[in-house]
Structure formats: C-alpha cells, structure tokens
A and B are shown apart, each in its own frame.
Chain A
C-alpha cells in the first residue's frame, strides 16, 4: 500500500465479530445493500478516513471514520448454495457496524 495508516479511533480490532446495520436513509450510503444486516468479523483495520457520506454533499468529511476490511462467510451472505470455504470481503466504515457478542 505504501500509505501511512493513521491511528484508528474505531471501536473494533481484527477478529472482532460484527453485524452490519440495516440502515436505509436518504443520502450517499457506502455500504452495499446485499451486506446490510449480515454478520462477519473484522479482517483488518485500514485506519481513519474522511467520511465519504459527508464528502458526497460537498461537506468537510469530519469527523473521520475508521474503515475496516470485514469478512463474511459466503453462506452467511448468499445462502447454502454458496461456496462453503469462500469469504466475502467488504470495506465498511465504523458507523455501519455494531458488536456481535
């Protein structure tokens, strides 16, 4: 990557189990529909970035949001017909995630 990762202020660390919020509101939503409401785990913490959901409306993107690489079992996303060994990997911002016990 070559880019310095800033200190992450997010609530999760690699390995944490998470659930994607099923939000549907007006605006520029950066979490694809197919992954909303699904459960997975934090694969990697990228760092803190300006919030694209704010930048999309010409605003300053602050406060920054932590971005994660989140992993999901294919079967948890697409059902039993999906490949059992495969994962779905999605970049998701902190405010879209909630802890899963």
Chain B
C-alpha cells in the first residue's frame, strides 16, 4: 500500500490554495443536488462517496475537477448498489449527446 491519491496534505510543490470566489456551473449545482437527494433518501453515505473517490484510477482522479469526481463517485456507488447499470448510464449519456451535443 502507499499513500492514496486523495491524501495530499503536506506534499511539497502543491503551491498556494486558490481561495478566490468562483461561479459554479449549472451542472455542478445539479451534481450537488443529486448527491444530497441520494443522501436524504438513504441511498448512500458520504463515507461511501469518499471511498469511491479513493478507489478511482489515480490518473483519472488527478485529471478530474472537484465535481467531476463527485459525479464519478455517484456513478460508481449507484452501479455498486445495482441501482443503475453502466449500460443504462452510457445509453442515457448517448441520448443526451445526440440531443445536446457532446460536452
């Protein structure tokens, strides 16, 4: 085992934290809403989401933004709990891309 990709506290070279206010995108607010709704329904717990982010492929984790990691962990937990399948998610995503264009 080694230090997880999420566990970066104290690592040299990270630079200063950007504390400037920034506008959230609509999809990021939606990601938060979905996350809270799943929590309120008792579908998942915060600790499960954290664990899902820790289990992600390290390169993929580092490439993702904060809310992209949230979405990826929601997806992983919903698949793990057999609430949605990967196929269902991919199918819906393809529908959206046809309708709205690729993100």
Contacts and interface: CB of A to CB of B under 8 A. Distances in A.
A56 interface: yes
A33 B51 contact: no
A89 to B, nearest CB: 13
B48 A32 contact: no
A25 B1 contact: yes
Interface in A58-97: 58, 77-78
A18 to B, nearest CB: 19
Contacts of B51: 27-28, 56-57
Contacts of A77: 10
Contacts of A33: 3-4, 7, 9-10
18 contacts: A27-B51, A28-B51, A28-B54, A29-B4, A32-B10, A33-B4, A33-B7, A34-B9, A52-B47, A53-B47, A55-B45, A55-B47, A55-B48, A56-B45, A56-B50, A57-B51, A58-B45, A58-B81
Contacts of A56: 45, 47-48, 50-51
B interface secondary structure, majority: loop
Interface string B1-23: 11110010110000000000000
A58 to B, nearest CB: 6
Contacts of A78: 10
B56 to A, nearest CB: 13
Contacts of B1: 24-26
5 pairs of A and B residues whose beta carbons are closest in the complex = A34-B10, A56-B51, A56-B47, A28-B51, A55-B47
